[in-house]
C-alpha cells in the first residue's frame, strides 16, 4: 500500500469561470491510525455543480471551501485498514472524502462513513442514482412538486445525474415527464433510455419566445411541476407555460454560477398562476434519506432506474473534468476513477 496520499486542493478563488490553475496537486504522507479510526482507499470521486459555489467566498448556504485544503466531494471506496470494531478491512463505504486517494476517518463520529451493499447496486452508483444526486431529485420531486397521475413535470438538465432521476421518478408516479437538455444526443438518451415522454434541445432555441413555443408543443396541457437546475432563459420560458397552482423545486441555478446576473423576466406570473416556488438543500433533510435511498436502491437493483456515468481516469484529471461538467460536457453522472 502506498504511504503517500495524493490530493487536489483549492489554490485560489476563481474570478468568473474557474480555471485549472485554481487547483493544485499536493502529496502528503499517510498518518498512523489511532483507536477508532479507519483508512479508506477511494475508488471513485464525485464531481458536482455545487462545488462551484463552494469555491467562492460569497455568502451562501454553506461555508466556502477553504484555500489550501482538500476540495470537498463525495467518495466511495474500500476500508484498507481499521482500528474500529464497526468497520472491517474490505468493507465498501461511502463518505465525503474529498478530492484525494485516501482518507483517515474518525469512524466513531456518527454518519461520516456509511457501509454500502454492492451485491445488486454497483459501488459507483452510490455517488449518483443511489446517492446525493438521486436523493436530491427524489426530494424535489416527491416533497415539493408531488405530482399527481396525469400531470406534466418538466426537468431542466434532464440528462444529468439529478435530472435523469427526477423524470424517471415522475414516470413511476404516473406523471408525464418532459426534459430539457443540450444537444440532440442528450435528448435522444433522455427519451430512449431514460423513458421521458419528450425532450427539448435548448440549443435549438435562441430566445425565450422560441423555447416557450417548444414547451407549448411538448406540454399541451401546460406545466404542473418544474424541477429547476439551470435558471435564466429556461426558467422564463417554463413560467410562461406554467399552470395555476404549479410547483417549482429550485435545486440549482447553473446559469449564474460564475457570477452572471440571472433576472426573472416575468415574476408577476408567480402571482397570476399562484405558483409555489421552493428552494432546498438536500443535506438539510437527512430525515428523508432512508426512504429515498430505499426506493432509489430498489429501482436501480431491479433495472427500473437507468443512469449513465462519465468517468475521468486518475486524480489529476479531476480539475479538467470538473470544468467540463460546468460546461455540460459530461453525460449523466461525472465521476473520477481513482483506482
184 and 122 together in one domain: no
Task: Please tell me the total count of domains within the chain.
Answer: 2
Query: Alpha helix (H) ranges present in 5-84?
Result: 50-55
In the chain, what percentage of residues exceed pLDDT 90? Answer: 89
201 and 233 together in one domain: yes
99 and 217 together in one domain: no
Lowest model confidence (mean pLDDT) among 53-62, 149-158, 280-289: 53-62
Residue 139 grid cell: 426530494
Which range marks the domain in which residue 104 is found? Answer: 4-128+308-337
Q: What phi and psi values does residue 58 have, to the nearest 5 degrees?
A: -75, 160
Q: What phi and psi values does residue 186 have, to the nearest 5 degrees?
A: -65, -40
103 and 122 together in one domain: yes
Residue 332 contacts residue 159 (beta carbons within 8 Å):
yes
29 and 87 together in one domain: yes
CATH number of domain containing 141: 3.40.50.720
Residue 239 contacts residue 208 (beta carbons within 8 Å):
no
Predicted confidence (pLDDT) per residue in 242-268, tens digit: 999 999 999 998 877 777 888 899 999
Beta bridge partners of 54: none
13 and 117 together in one domain: yes
**For residues 330 and 101, what is the distance between their CA atoms, to the nearest angstrom?**
22
Q: Does the pTM of the predicted model rise above 0.85?
A: yes
CATH number of domain containing 99: 3.90.180.10
N-term to C-term CA, the chain: 12
In the chain, what percentage of residues exceed pLDDT 70? Answer: 99
The answer, yes or no, to whether residue 41 has pLDDT greater than 90, is yes
Q: Distance from CA of residue 138 to its chain's centroid? A: 11
39 and 140 together in one domain: no
**For residues 52 and 322, what is the distance between their CA atoms, to the nearest angstrom?**
9
Mean pLDDT across 124-136 = 97
74 and 186 together in one domain: no
| Strand ranges (E), 70-203 | 75-82, 92-95, 102-106, 113-115, 152-156, 176-181, 198-201
SS3 content of the chain, % helix, strand, coil (to 5): 35, 25, 40
Per-residue pLDDT band at 63 (split at 50, 70, 90): confident
**Domain for residue 146, yes or no?**
yes
* Closest alpha carbon to 337 in 138, 101, 16: 101
Contacts (Cβ under 8 Å, ≥6 apart) of 222: 152, 241, 242, 243, 246
* pLDDT at residue 16, rounded to an integer: 87
140 and 277 together in one domain: yes
Lowest model confidence (mean pLDDT) among 151-155, 174-178, 253-257: 253-257
* pLDDT at residue 1, rounded to an integer: 63
171 and 205 together in one domain: yes
Longest dimension (CA), the chain: 63
**Domain for residue 298, yes or no?**
no
Lowest model confidence (mean pLDDT) among 22-36, 100-114, 173-187: 100-114
Amino acid at each position: 500500500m502506498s504511504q503517500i496520499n495524493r490530493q487536489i486542493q483549492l489554490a485560489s478563488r476563481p474570478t468568473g469561470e474557474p480555471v485549472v490553475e485554481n487547483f493544485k496537486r499536493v502529496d502528503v504522507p499517510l498518518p498512523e491510525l489511532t483507536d477508532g479510526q479507519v483508512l479508506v482507499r477511494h475508488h471513485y470521486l464525485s464531481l458536482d455543480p455545487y462545488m462551484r459555489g463552494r469555491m467562492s467566498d460569497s455568502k451562501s448556504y454553506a461555508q466556502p471551501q477553504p484555500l489550501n485544503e482538500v476540495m470537498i466531494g463525495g467518495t466511495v471506496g474500500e476500508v484498507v485498514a481499521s482500528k474500529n470494531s464497526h468497520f472491517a478491512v474490505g468493507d465498501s463505504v461511502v463518505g465525503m472524502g474529498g478530492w484525494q486517494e485516501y482518507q483517515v476517518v474518525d469512524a466513531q463520529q456518527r454518519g461520516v462513513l456509511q457501509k454500502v451493499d454492492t451485491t445488486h447496486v454497483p459501488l459507483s452508483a452510490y455517488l449518483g442514482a443511489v446517492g446525493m444526486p438521486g436523493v436530491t431529485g427524489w426530494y424535489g420531486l416527491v416533497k415539493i412538486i408531488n405530482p399527481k397521475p396525469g400531470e406534466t413535470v418538466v426537468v431542466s438538465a434532464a440528462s444529468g445525474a439529478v435530472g435523469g432521476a427526477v423524470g424517471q421518478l415522475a414516470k413511476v408516479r404516473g406523471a408525464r415527464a418532459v426534459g430539457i437538455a443540450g444537444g440532440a444526443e442528450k435528448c435522444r438518451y433522455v427519451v430512449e433510455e431514460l423513458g421521458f415522454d419528450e425532450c427539448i434541445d435548448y440549443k435549438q432555441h435562441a430566445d425565450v419566445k422560441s423555447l416557450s413555443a417548444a414547451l407549448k408543443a411538448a406540454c399541451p396541457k401546460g406545466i404542473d411541476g418544474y424541477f429547476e437546475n439551470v435558471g435564466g432563459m429556461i426558467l422564463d420560458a417554463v413560467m410562461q407555460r406554467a399552470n395555476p397552482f404549479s410547483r417549482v423545486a429550485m435545486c440549482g441555478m447553473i446559469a449564474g454560477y460564475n457570477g452572471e446576473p440571472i433576472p426573472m423576466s416575468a415574476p408577476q406570473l408567480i402571482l397570476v398562476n399562484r405558483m409555489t416556488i421552493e428552494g432546498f438543500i438536500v443535506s438539510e433533510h437527512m430525515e428523508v434519506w432512508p426512504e429515498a435511498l430505499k426506493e432509489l436502491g430498489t429501482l436501480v437493483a431491479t433495472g427500473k432506474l437507468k443512469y449513465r456515468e462519465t468517468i475521468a481516469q486518475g486524480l489529476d484529471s479531476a480539475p479538467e473534468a470538473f470544468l467540463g461538467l460546468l460546461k455540460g460536457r459530461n453525460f449523466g453522472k461525472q465521476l473520477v476513477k481513482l483506482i
